[in-house]
Structures are given as structure tokens and as C-alpha cells.
Amino acid sequence: MSEPRLLAGAPIAAEIRATVKADVAAFRRRHGYVPTLAVVLVGRDAPSAVYLQQILKGCRNVGIEGRLVEIPGRVSAARVRRRIAELNDDPLVSGIIVQMPLPKRIPLSTVIEILDPAKDIDGIHPLNAGLMTLGYAGFLPTTAQAAVELLKRSGIEIAGRHAVVVGRSNVVGKPASILLLRENATVTICHSKTRDLAGILRTADIVVVAVGRPRLVTGAMLRPGAVVVDVGINVVEGKLVGDVDFESAKEVVSAITPVPGGVGPVTNALLMTHLMRAARAQADLRHAGHPLAGAR
């Protein structure tokens, strides 16, 4: 079989960033300031820190103010809540993301209970999750959105195709399956309890893998001509690898995302579009004198 098409994220991300950069400039002319994205890091985690630096670099590239909010050491749930509440109340902060996973002693409910849904630009709040499920306009989980957006912008037909999502996390697997359904795919979700994963994968036209297990999916498990989106980021012997064994998969698939350089750049760029949408909505509320919108 000929070499598969490489679904690189960089060109798509560049297109998105160009639009965002123009939006930021227009926002600044109208409102006199640029929006701020607050990136909250609870504790110290090296891989997360690297990822967050990429987000902050993405902010700089489009003219957004990126603020790294570190809550170091052995923090309590109460301290996390207080810090997020302060960011909720800061009118210059238009969007808040909290790096996952949180330390084991800090439950996710700590963040969800206090995070303002209007600033939840990565779609972890139940309000945004509910809006997504119902097909209404909320903030989508960005990585899941990036996986589907990469397919759409690459001209991959989704409607009527059988898509298999491997992974059922609230961050990627579940939302990706919902977004694929919204594009009229027939969707199967596989997970750690699935029997005969390989058998199901061999029926798939589109495969999205997001489980955090390096090289879990091999070429032998895939249908010839399938399209594969690998969301996994794993470090193996000092190298970044995906959840799909790229070398064996490329022998059978028609298109595949690289790791790194596939879903990641698109995720980063889409996050900036979410921030600008949040900033415009908040600014409009302030101009309308909304009592919950705060004041500069």
C-alpha cells in the first residue's frame, strides 16, 4: 500500500491563529485591552508544565495575555477554590483552564463547583457539557473538538461513516463521540472492558484513540484504508509517542495524524478561539450593565 496521508495539525492551526490574531486586534481597538487566559497549574508536574508553556506561547503568538497561575506545594481543596474564585472575579480574565490531572487529593468537583461556566473555555463544567450533549452553543472540550475539526478541515468525509472511539474519558472520549455523532457518523465507543477491541476496530472507517497507553492500537487491528486520529501523548524512552503504533499503522491506513504535531497544535489554536468568544460575551454583558459581569 502507498504511504498514507499525514494529517498534520500545524497548517490547520496556522489558519485558525491568523483569524484569532485579527480578532484580538479588533477587540483591543474596541475595548482598549486584550483578553487574558489564566492557566492554573496545581502542584508541579513536568509534562503538564511543558504543555502549559505551549499554551502560553500560543497566547503570545496571537496577542492574547497568558497568565500562568501556579498553586504550588501540597495545596488544599479550599485553596484551589479560593484562587479560582479570584480569577472568576477578575474582569480582565476572560478564560480559565485548569491543567489535568489534578493531584489525587484534590477532587475534580473542587474545580467544577467554583469555576464560572462563562470562563470555562475548555468545557469541563456540567453546564457546558450539557449544552454540548444537547447540541447547543457552549464551550466544547478543546482536544475532542480538535480531533473532529482536524478531520473536517482535512476534507475527510464523516457523515455515514463508522467511527470507533477508543477511550471514554470526559475530556476526550465521550465528547469526541458526541461531536462525531453531530457530524452524522455512526459511532462505537470502546474502553478497557471492551471485548475483542481488534475485531471492532477492523469495522471502522474512522478511528479516534485517546486512552493514554502507548502504541495500544497496531496496524494489524485496523481496517485497510481507515483514517486514524491519535490523541495520545506518551513518553517512552525519552520520545513522545501516541496511543497508535505509527510504524505498523501506516502500512494499512489511508490517513493518520502524527504524534507530536497532529491534534496538539489544533487544540492549542482552538483554545484561543474559545477565549475570544468568551471575551466578547463578557464585554457585551459589561457594556449592557449586567449585574454579574463585573467592572474594570
Q: Report whether 146 contacts 266 (CB < 8 A).
A: yes
Cα separation of 184 and 161, whole Å?
A: 8
- Whether 277 is covered by a domain: the verdict is no
147 and 61 in a single domain? The answer is no
Domain residues for the domain of 111 are 32-119
> Whole-angstrom distance between the N-terminal and C-terminal Cα of the chain?
60
Residue 296 in this model has a pLDDT that exceeds 60: no
Residue 291 has pLDDT above 60, yes or no: no
pLDDT band at 289 (very low <50, low <70, confident <90, very high): low
**Looking at residue 141, what is its pLDDT?**
96
288 located within any domain = no
- 240 in the same domain as 161: yes
CATH number, residue 100 = 3.40.50.10860
The answer to whether residue 192 sits within a structural domain is yes
Instruction: Round the average pLDDT of the chain to a whole number and report it.
Output: 92
Tell me the three cell numbers of residue 73: 506545594
Same domain, 245 and 200: yes
Please compute the mean of the pLDDT values over residues 76-90 and round it to a whole number: 94
Give the mean model confidence (pLDDT) for residues 13-26: 97
Q: Tell me, what's the pLDDT at 48?
A: 58
Question: Is there a single domain that holds both residue 96 and residue 147?
Answer: no
Q: Does one domain contain both 218 and 158?
A: yes
Lay out the sheet containing 36-42: strands in order across: 65-71, 36-42, 93-98
Report the alpha-carbon distance of residue 112 to residue 89 in Å, rounded. Answer: 16
Q: Provide the pLDDT for residue 147.
A: 98
For residue 105, the model assigns a pLDDT of 86
pLDDT score of 80 more than 90: yes
Q: Could you tell me if 255 and 151 lie in one domain? A: yes
Residues 107 and 165 in one domain: no
Instruction: Establish if 81 belongs to a structural domain.
Output: yes
The pLDDT-based confidence of 99 (bands split at 50, 70, 90) is confident
Q: Are 12 and 262 a contacting pair, CB within 8 Å? A: no
For the ranges 49-63, 120-134, 281-295, the maximum mean pLDDT occurs at 120-134
Q: Is 47 helix (H, G, I), strand (E, B) or coil?
A: helix
Any domain includes 247: yes
The span from the CA of 165 to the CA of 151, in Å, is 14
SS3 69: strand
pLDDT digits (tens, 9 = 90+) for 270-283: 999 999 999 999 99
CATH number of the domain enclosing 152 = 3.40.50.720
Residue 267 φ then ψ, to 5°? -55, -50
pLDDT tens per residue across span 235-260: 888 888 999 999 999 999 999 999 99
Residues 82 and 189 in one domain: no
61 and 103 fall within a common domain: yes
pTM above 0.85, yes or no: yes
Predicted confidence band of residue 190 (pLDDT cuts 50, 70, 90)? very high
* Residue at 155 is within a domain: yes
What's the pLDDT band for 47 if we cut at 50, 70, 90? low
Residues 108 and 65 placed together within one structural domain of the fold: yes
Question: Per the domain annotation, does 276 fall within a domain?
Answer: no
The answer to whether residue 46 scores a pLDDT higher than 70 is no
Q: Do 56 and 170 reside in the same domain of the chain?
A: no
Of all residues in the chain, the percent with pLDDT exceeding 90 is: 80
Q: Are residues 115 and 173 in the same domain?
A: no
> What is the Rg, in whole angstroms, of the alpha carbon atoms belonging to the chain?
20
Distances (CA, A) of 65 to 34, 37, 165, 285: 7, 6, 35, 21
Q: Is residue 63 part of a domain?
A: yes
How many structural domains are present in the chain?
Answer: 2
- Position 295 scores a pLDDT of 35
Beta strands (DSSP E) in the chain are: 5-6, 36-42, 65-71, 93-98, 162-166, 186-190, 206-209, 227-230, 234-236, 239-241, 255-256
Q: What is the pLDDT of residue 72?
A: 84
